[in-house]
Structure 1
Amino acid sequence: MGVHHTHRGDSRSQDHVTYEYDQPCDYHCQSYDGADDGTKPDQRIGVVYWILGLRIPLVASNPVREGVRISTSPCVCEIRLRGFPVQTAPVPFVSSPEDTPDPNHIVTSFYLEESDVKAMLVPGCFHPSHAYLEISVFTGKQGYHCGVGGKKQQVGTFRLEVGPEWSGGKPVLLHHGWIGIGKSKQDGGKPGAELHLRVMLDPDPRYVFQFEDETKSSPQIVQLQGTMKQPIFSCKFSSERRMSSQLDPMSNYWSSINEGTDQESERKVRKGWKVMIHDLSGAAVAAAFIATPFVPSSGCDRVARSNPGAWLIVRPDICGTDSWQPWGKLEAWRERGVKDSVSFRFHLLPEGQEAGGSLLVSEMLISAEKGGEFFIDTDRQTPSGTPVPSPQSSGDFAGVSPVVAGFVMNCRVQGEGKSSKPVVQLAMRHVTCEEDAAIFLALAAAVDLSIEACRPFRTKAKRGVRNSV
């Protein structure tokens, strides 16, 4: 069967591009409500907060605090919640009472499991009896100390107690509006700076999946809930040297080179890797394959940013039973540093967009040695890109506004040379059918394999990988 790929925005007739795939399933987007044994999503709660603005009321006639003029100094806030890393974000200054804060200025979120909330509600010996969400505002640019004597100056603090409503599993608006966060010492204790913020609890149930073995070992994929495991999909990895020249523009170049042994060719290019995701009936429901080979850049032994390798993530075409539709593109390359990292850039390929109209939805670094987390979360990052209309089909999450989209998915992978069994979390609201879950699992497999694909070319391949290149 083949991939029938027509470049969007090009009115010229395109030849069909053929790649040796398993036949995809009849695309009917079967409703997905957890595993057949009744396994449901893991319940999580998102603490979403908007830091909308900082202002100095008129009663504070001299908005100067300990030698620092707040109205002209950049401000930053530090957000603390017990058991979680401190988060920082810039605070926009509202210069006049008539100015309206930007309602879409989302800072970030904390995502809590039920056990996290329970732990914060129980008094302990080594922490205060009550846990708080604490937002402290300081003058100075993010990451720097500034002000008199080189010390960062605190403007004020907002504290919100963690209460039983945090574990209710329902949306709750905890605070919205202006609130005083400090007193003006120079004005006899009159109200000083005010912070406009919005804090709400947003239930965020997730499906959790795990690859039972390394991706290249073609493992089974199970859904997790606590100690329960339920098979949902299977993963099939393969490596094919023969690829269509239209899918791989460099294939003609590489085919002209005398590749010699596998070990010799492995020092030149990594290509032809393919991952198929099958449902329990054996039908292929998603796939990922290397579309741009991973090759060393001129004069070095690594895949560089100037020429990244790329995966194409595809799903069954709704218009046919023997074709595939591109869904996303994952680029990866290796970044040099004190400790090397693998850089990822993921674009969504919206249906109906013209060529070059892809939407950047995620960009990050993962430690090449230790591994890390790949995620799509509009609360944690806002990549640049061209807006797309509201979603018209399943999986088209990128058309949702940042306020609604929030967390979409994440996956945790190991570093190079380590046994990696990716764990994937998917927001329930973005999974309406099995095919939706499968496409994100194909993306996770591509992320995992990219750690190996981006290893230095001078390094000998592991025994398990060499036969897969």
Structure 2
Amino acid sequence: MDPCPFVRLSVGNLALKIPVASKPARSVVHPSSSQCFCKIKLKHFPIQTAVVPYILPESHDGPLQTLAATFNLSKSDLEKLANKFPFTSAKLCLKVSIYTGRRGTNCGVNSGRLLGKVSVPLDLAGTESKPCVFHRGWIAVGKEAKGSSAQFHLIVKAEPDPRFVFQFDNEPECSPQVFQIQGNIRQPVFTCKWRSDATFC
């Protein structure tokens, strides 16, 4: 039996550039001296959090090749996401919220300060059979004037990730039976029965 179709949606190579003001306010903590992080959200999936490395604006170094978040999509997940906007022109998007400051909460209040949000449109059709890159590069974030806003780098891509799916049936501790699953098809691949009066040395 063939493996079940799965798609791995990954987000990586995160980086942040923020221009340094000529006369920075005393109350503002620049990201170069504090932590930055982001929250990555895909509909119907738990929010994932990742650290965002800071790169100096004048630096010519590229973002580090690191994986920040992964969403493993089954066939049913893909169908659910595809039917999210059946009667509108709206598109499925991966949403990223970028924060400056430390992760976590302080007295029940989020300690990070929201810097900006990024939305990457997704079209997952056909990704079960071929990879697709939805975004690769820098995006302006924040409310500053054009040319002086913060820059956020990320790569969002989907790749086929077929898997064999197995399921236990009956009572595993007494008479385990293993089925290979593909859609609504269940094919037995292993069966074993234990004797209640068996003696083990």
Category of TM-score, reference length = shorter chain = 0.7 to 0.9
CA deviation after TM superposition for structure 1 residue 86, in Å = 0.8
Q: Structure 1: which 5+ runs fail to align?
A: 1-33, 35-39, 243-469
Alignment of 1:114-263 (within 5 A): 114-122=75-83, 123=85, 129-144=90-105, 152-165=112-125, 167=127, 169-184=129-144, 188-235=145-192, 242=201
Letter in 1 for 2:42: L
The structure whose Rg is larger is 1
**Inter-partner Cα distance in structure 1 for 2:178 and 2:163:** 16
- Counterpart secondary structure, 2:164: strand
CA deviation after TM superposition for structure 1 residue 124, in Å = 6.0
Structure 1 segments (4+ residues) deviating >6 Å: none
Aligned to 1:444: none
Aligned to 1:81: 42
What TM-score do the two structures reach when normalised by structure 1? 0.37
The reply to whether residue 49 of structure 1 matches residue 11 of structure 2 is yes
Contact 1:47 1:111 in 2 (8 A): yes
**Inter-partner Cα distance in structure 2 for 1:151 and 1:134:** 20
Q: Structure 2: which 5+ runs fail to align?
A: none
- Counterpart secondary structure, 1:201: strand
CA deviation after TM superposition for structure 1 residue 117, in Å = 2.6
**Count of equivalent residues:** 196
**Inter-partner Cα distance in structure 2 for 1:229 and 1:205:** 17
C-alpha RMSD of matched pairs (Å): 3.2
- Counterpart secondary structure, 1:217: coil
**Inter-partner Cα distance in structure 1 for 2:38 and 2:94:** 13
Letter in 1 for 2:120: L
Letter in 2 for 1:203: P
Distance verdict in 2 for CA 1:162–1:47, change over 3 Å: same
Letter in 2 for 1:53: A
More strand by share: 2
CA deviation after TM superposition for structure 1 residue 183, in Å = 3.3
Distance verdict in 2 for CA 1:48–1:145, change over 3 Å: farther
More helix by share: 1
Q: Whose relative contact order is higher, 1 or 2, with alpha carbons under 8 Å and at least 6 apart?
A: 2
